[in-house]
Amino acid sequence: MNRKIKIYFIRHSKLDLPYENHLKMPYEILDDLATSRRDPSIAKNSKKLFLKAAEGLPLKDLDVIYFNNSNSQSKRSKESAFLIGRILKEKYHKRVPILGNPNLKEIDFSLRDILPKKKFLTRGMPAVRTALYHAIINQGPVEQIDHIYRRTTSVLKGLEMYRNKNQAVMLVSHDFYMRTVEIYLRKSKDYKEVTVDDLEKTPLNTYFKGFGTSYDLKLFRRF
């Protein structure tokens, strides 16, 4: 990992639900998760999942961990962050601050508002992604790209104190939100330049996976 990369965005762990992953979940469960009617804990094997996913990351160099404390899909992010904190303590005898930031929340939407169940049953998660991306860009009944970008700008500005100390920060967030962060970092800081195609081309961030960047935002590396 490039030593100039100091900011790590990672997705939360797998959820404690009887499904292999989000791709296998029924329509109703996905909607409950999106709207926070259901906010389950993380899976019991999350430690094993993290250690495998984070191979190669400079974990011992982390100085602070942030999680989503917005009360919207928050439990999975918070529990993942505190799990990582415990792992750092066990492996490296290192205690790091674990702090909340509501701007790390998932994009606000209800599946029922953007995609009929009939279409979901025939096309699955690809249809969910496409429906959400169109709604984000085209004034649909979801959180809009300008608001999402303002959140990202706020998150990154809030890290200036760590930049001054050359410290490393891990931010535990959510897949759809992280896809917009990737475009912010790799394409444009202007939300008006973001297209549905840009979002479609972003890869899935699987559990405890993500990407890193430098404080000047010029570097990008997936892990």
User: What pLDDT does residue 56 have?
Assistant: 86
Structural domains of the chain in order of their starting residue, each with its CATH number: 6-222 (3.40.50.1240)
pLDDT in tens, 84-136: 999 999 999 999 999 999 999 999 999 999 999 999 999 999 999 999 999 99
Which pTM was predicted?
A: 0.96
Q: Both tokens of residue 95?
A: 């205690």
User: Which is nearest to 96 in space by CA: 69, 51, 66, 58?
Assistant: 66
pLDDT for 1 equals 64
Q: Residue 205: which residues within 8 A CB-CB, separation 6 or more?
A: 10, 11, 175, 178, 179, 211
pLDDT at res. 3: 84
Can you tell me whether residue 117 is helix, strand or coil? helix
- Whether pLDDT at 206 is above 80: yes
Q: What are phi and psi of 15, to 5 degrees?
A: -90, 155
- Over the stretch 141-155, which tens digit does the pLDDT of each residue have? 999 999 999 999 999
φ and ψ of 207, to 5 deg: -55, 130
Degrees to nearest 5, angle at CA 154 with 148 and 157 = 145
